């Protein structure tokens, strides 16, 4: 299949660009790797992304990647308006829904969220073992399967289907946007 997206970002490049410095055609961003720890400068194309991060078995059309791309495209317009006006009150009801969808999607779609799901499943199995709970073979098999990457990816991406449930909660909140005018991140 042609035009397949190999490198899939969980933080959109249009958003990363706001925190980068342009050098010619490149947008460079300062990063900090907490696991090493070390600071480094890299292109926004190389950060907050992984190869085939959203691709599922037999998803030849990359439906998830395309859905996220549509969400990002709609929010990019709202984001530009927010940057320009610096006031959430200028947003229409539809734009607020678009922003809510984007924020919730960002909470769900990350590597960290995927690892959190894996950790919950693993801790559940350990707790059942610790308590001496006898697990029938079929459930034992399902628990082993649930730790596989494809299962966790499907579970994570299935959370996106529940977006309408989360949006209602988000929309009843009072929204305030602050402008940080310092060079120091919050």
d(CA 72, CA 68): 6
User: Rounded to 10 degrees, what is the CA torsion of 140, 162, 73, 56?
Assistant: 20
Q: Which pLDDT does position 93 carry in this prediction?
A: 92
pLDDT digits (tens, 9 = 90+) for 112-171: 999 999 999 999 989 998 999 888 888 888 888 888 999 999 999 888 888 888 888 888
Tokens of 122: 């693993």
pLDDT digits (tens, 9 = 90+) for 71-106: 999 999 999 999 999 888 899 999 999 999 999 999
Q: Which pLDDT does position 80 carry in this prediction?
A: 95
pTM: 0.84
* Cβ–Cβ under 8 Å, residues 91 and 78: yes
* Collapsed DSSP state (helix, strand, coil) of residue 153: helix
Q: How confident is the model at residue 186 (pLDDT cuts 50, 70, 90)?
A: low
Residues in CB range of 46: below 8 A, 6 or more apart: none
Element (H, E) at 165: helix 163-171
Q: Which pLDDT does position 185 carry in this prediction?
A: 58
């Amino acid at each position: 299949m042609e035009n397949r997206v190999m490198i899939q970002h969980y933080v959109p490049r249009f958003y990363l660009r706001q925190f980068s410095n342009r050098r010619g055609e490149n947008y460079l961003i300062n990063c900090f790797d907490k696991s090493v720890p070390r600071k480094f400068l890299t292109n926004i194309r190389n950060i907050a992304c992984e190869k085939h991060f959203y691709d599922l078995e037999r998803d030849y059309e990359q439906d998830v990647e395309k859905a996220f791309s549509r969400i990002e495209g709609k929010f990019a317009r709202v984001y530009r308006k927010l940057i320009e006006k610096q006031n959430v009150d200028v947003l229409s009801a539809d734009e607020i829904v678009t922003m809510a969808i984007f924020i919730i999607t960002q909470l769900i779609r990350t590597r960290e969220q995927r690892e959190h799901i894996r950790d919950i499943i693993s801790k559940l199995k350990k707790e059942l073992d610790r308590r001496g709970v006898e697990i029938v073979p079929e459930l034992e098999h399902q628990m082993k399967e649930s730790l596989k990457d494809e299962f966790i990816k499907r579970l994570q991406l299935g959370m996106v289907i529940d977006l309408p449930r989360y949006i209602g909660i988000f929309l009843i909140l009072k929204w305030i946007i602050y402008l940080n005018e310092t060079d120091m991140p919050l």
